[in-house]
Amino acid sequence: MKTIQLSHPTRNVHSATAPFLVIGGSGKTGRRVVDRLKTLGHEVRSASRSSNLSFDWNDDANWDEVLTGVKALYVTYHPDLSVPGASDHIRALLAVAESQGVERIVLLSGRGEEEAQRCERLVLDSGIPATVVRCGWFNQNFSESFFRDLLMSGTLAVPNASVGEGYIDADDIADVATAALTGEGHEGQIYELTGPELLTFRDIAVIFHEVTGRELNVVDVSREDFVEGLEAAQLPEGMVQLVDYLFNEVLDGRNASLGNGVQRALGRPPRDFRSFLQKAHLSGAFD
């Protein structure tokens, strides 16, 4: 694992008064990181396009203002670091972070995505102490995203239904990100996060039935039929393109292996999918 040479003097980011900024603070991992930092007594700013502190990746007019006084930064990119042009935005953000004296960065990245890994290198080579949290598919995609509607429909018509994926819980991601933002020893690390087992969509259907009692039929469909179904569901064009890319290019077996990032960063095993599903079911996510 590469360790970067720190170009800044060592400074304290642990003070309860040192501000933390979470870009994408209303997202699946962002809001969890915000909650954890606040629980630890830190001052936290949450920035997104819809927040009072507005942050738009396509408009850098107020980026200096947003990063003023910030010491540690958690970066989630919308819609995904895999999209063309993401590295240009990350490069621009790093320039502002450098000018504002940001002392630590944690980047949420994607497994098996070429553009995402280009962004990782920019962050790790920036001279600002940095950590990469590299993830694939979230457990919460099945309870907080359009996947939930597919589960509730009783039919999961997707490409590559028999490809294994190491689904990771968003709470584990937030725990790792918070540790990297507030603790020592994480600089220069790439933490590849997965759950404890590889699961196919067919495996997920079995677990979903066992936990909820609901039948879930899995149908392996062509790329063309899948895209047609996304369009019929009236997903925005950009989201259709992203989901198509994730299902048909990233979910091609390249990530059919387990990472040990949770264990390395936290010294404990990751949460498993069944436990996540049981918790989501008890919360009424599938009512």
Distances in Å between the alpha carbon of 88 and those of 51, 77, 122, 135?
Answer: 23, 12, 10, 21
H or E element that contains 167: none
**The pLDDT value given to residue 279:** 97
φ and ψ at 10, to 5 degrees? -65, 125
Q: Give the confidence band of 4 by pLDDT, cuts at 50, 70, 90.
A: very low
Burial string for 85-94 (b: 16+ CB within 10 Å, else e) reads ebbebbeebb
Spatial neighbors of 265 by CB under 8 A, at least 6 apart, are: 175, 176, 179, 180, 186, 189, 191
CATH assignment of 20-198+254-282? 3.40.50.720
For 31-61, the pLDDT digits (tens) are 999 999 999 999 999 999 988 889 999 999 9
What pTM was computed for the model?
0.91
**The pLDDT value given to residue 230:** 87
What is the C-alpha separation between 108 and 81, in angstroms, rounded? 9
Report the percent of the chain where pLDDT is more than 90. Answer: 80
What's the DSSP call for residue 135? E
Q: Exposed, middle or buried: residue 235 (CB in 10 Å: 0-12, 13-18, 19+)?
A: middle
Q: Exposed, middle or buried: residue 57 (CB in 10 Å: 0-12, 13-18, 19+)?
A: buried
**Which structure tokens are listed for 172?**
């584990």
Sign of the Cα torsion 150, 154, 157, 158 reads positive
**The pLDDT value given to residue 10:** 35
Ordered DSSP codes for 187-208: TT-EEEE--SS-B-HHHHHHHH
Each domain of the chain, given as residue ranges in start order, spans: 20-198+254-282
Question: What is the residue type of 244?
Answer: D
For 91-150, the pLDDT digits (tens) are 999 999 999 999 999 999 999 999 999 999 999 999 999 999 999 999 999 999 878 988
Q: Give the confidence band of 249 by pLDDT, cuts at 50, 70, 90.
A: confident
What is the C-alpha separation between 161 and 223, in angstroms, rounded? 12
